[in-house]
Amino acid sequence: MTKAIILAAGFGSRLMPLTANVPKTMVEYKGKKLIEYEIEALQSAGIKEIAIVGGYKFEVLKDFVKNRFGINRFFENANYAHTNMLHSLFCAREFLCECEAQKCDIIISYADIVYFAPCVKLLLDSDAEFAICVDKQWQKLWEARFDDILGDAETLKMRESNGEHYITELGKKPKDLSDIEAQYMGLFKFSHSFLGKIIALYDSLDKNAIFDSQPYNNIYMTSFLQGLIDKYHNAKAVIVSGNWCEIDFRSDLEIDIDVLVNCDCCQKDNTDKKCGSIFDEELGLCSHERGNRTNGSLTKRVANSTIYRKKTNALKKGAVIWICGLAGSGKSTLAKSLTNLLRQKFDNVVYLDGDELREIFGHFSYDKNGRIDMAIKRAQMANFLSKQGQIVIVSTISLFNEVYVWNRANLQNYFEVFVKCDFDELKRRDQKGLYTKALRGEIENVVGVDIDYDTPKPNLVLENSEAKDLDKKTQFLCDEFLEFYTNLQQGSNNDK
């Protein structure tokens, strides 16, 4: 017997505003929610017991799945905003131990993928202790999704033994296409006899270690799977050929899996037996594709006039998030929290603290002119890093028109945030007594007292007079930036 668990704790910030009121897995693709595809595929393949791990909008997900499918096994990752899928899986430790005790194998499924029963049946047919679904026809799907397929794809290398393929590496950054023999889908199976070793490996992880550049709380599932591969060398590849899709961006919702599958059906007798189109040996394309490729990128399928609006990889181009506010407004706290949140998904996020940069650049006076000069230096550093493809988060006072003008003229993908806070609250938070001393005339050069500031006209005003709900404010800030960034890149692509 085999059970299944779906890891559905994610928010899906890159799908905003579609995920404003529902979790990522409840976004609709072609008229059906993602989790409906997953549960229907598992049930159609004969899986009778399915558990769900939720997080963001947990009660919304729970109510829908209960009412729609009658499923009653739920586990919650309450810390979903600060952890990845591995920790979601072990929020259901009780379920894993139950499978081991009852000698039930278990299928683990990501919640942001669309797949169908035949894929699940292939996984069920495998008698391996550890089996992973991989797609050898991944390239067509990635070409439909991205301009730079290497930017988002991950390595997957295999060895052959007695006609079977075993995975030796997955989840790394590829140097070229030769590093990608297939693509990991996010669907795999553990045998009941192997579950004890999996739990033991998880329990043995060093909580102070770094795993593929990630701390323990944010360890990627693929990093953990690689640990199993390195230790046991038993990860059998269950090979599929398309007929699935990952939904991570709004543009993914426009991809037609059926068309991609049809175009994979071309036979060497020059006829596509499923769709009746003619295969062009010289071009390596069927008539669905022939004449509709530009520089190796799928742009249009004549067969059903589906347009693929290709999307540059999110956060692969540099940007600057400039978080400004008066001393004590909470800008640094928000900036650090945002940095941690973005780093859960992206590895090119840099945080620049205003005070720390003062130490690097040397002394600048604290009068208005000195503060402006210092702010421009910070902005120049941010500009340098963003041009290298970094997402740079800056927390600073710098509330002067000269700075705003320079930034907007020079910084690419510039997102300005003003953290607003009542002055009485600023004084209450002021442990050093700067505002009180400045108001008494005991010290000078305090912005907001004897140095006037210019209120910005930012992309986002974040009210922070009440120092609470940091996680919610951080998530809101993150969502607003990602929507801004995505719209900016889509506009840039449309202009080309």
Where residue 271 falls among pLDDT bands split at 50, 70, 90? very low
pLDDT confidence of residue 315: 58
DSSP letter for 29, please: E
User: With pLDDT > 70 as the criterion, what percentage of the chain qualifies?
Assistant: 86
**What's the DSSP call for residue 455?**
P
User: What's the order of all strands across the beta sheet hosting 414-420?
Assistant: 349-353, 391-396, 319-324, 414-420, 460-463
What distances in angstroms separate CA 360 from CA 319, 363, 374, one per listed residue?
Answer: 22, 9, 11
Task: Render pLDDT for 305-322 as a digit per residue (tens, 0 to 9).
Answer: 232 333 334 456 789 999
| Residue 117: HSE in the Cβ half-sphere, 13 Å Cα cutoff | 6
CA–CA gap between residue 354 and residue 396 (Å, rounded): 5
Q: Can you read off the two tokens belonging to residue 327?
A: 């001393």
Instruction: State the burial class of residue 388 (Cβ atoms within 10 Å of its Cβ: 0-12, 13-18, 19+).
Output: exposed
- Domains defined for the chain, CATH in brackets: 2-253 (3.90.550.10), 256-307 (no CATH), 319-495 (3.40.50.300)
Which residues, including other chains, have CB under 8 Å from residue 43's CB and lie 6 or more apart?
Answer: 50, 69
Percent of the chain whose predicted confidence (pLDDT) is above 90:
57
Check residue 358 and report its DSSP letter: H
Between CA 33 and CA 18 the distance in angstroms is: 12
DSSP secondary structure code for residue 13 in this structure? G
Give residue 123's identity as a one-letter amino acid code: L
For the cut 80, the answer to whether the pLDDT of residue 479 exceeds it is yes
pLDDT digit string, tens, across residues 346-355: 878 899 876 7
pTM comes to 0.58
Q: What is the pLDDT at residue 316?
A: 63
CA-CA distance, 19 to 80, in Å (whole number)?
15
Task: Tell me which H or E stretch contains 164.
Answer: strand 164-170
The answer on pLDDT for 163 being more than 90 is no
pLDDT digits (tens, 9 = 90+) for 51-81: 999 999 999 999 999 999 999 999 999 999 8
Taking only the tens place, the pLDDT of each residue in 45-59 is 999 999 999 999 999
pLDDT tens digits for 166-191? 999 999 999 999 999 999 999 999 99
Mean of pLDDT over the chain? 85
The pLDDT score that the predictor gives to residue 168 is: 96
Active site (catalytic) residues: 398
**Residue 487 confidence (pLDDT):** 78
Question: Which pLDDT tens digit goes with each residue over 205-217?
Answer: 999 998 888 889 8
Contact 226, 132 (CB under 8 A): no
To which H or E segment does residue 486 belong?
helix 470-495
pLDDT 10s digits, 382-436:
998 998 888 999 999 989 999 999 999 999 899 999 999 999 999 888 877 888 8
Concatenating the DSSP letter of every residue in 361-400 gives: H----SSHHHHHHHHHHHHHHHHHHHTTT-EEEEEE----
- 245 by DSSP, 3-state: which? strand
Most confident option among 72-86, 281-295, 357-371? 72-86
What would the two tokens of residue 475 be? 């998530």
pLDDT: which is higher, 190 or 286: 190
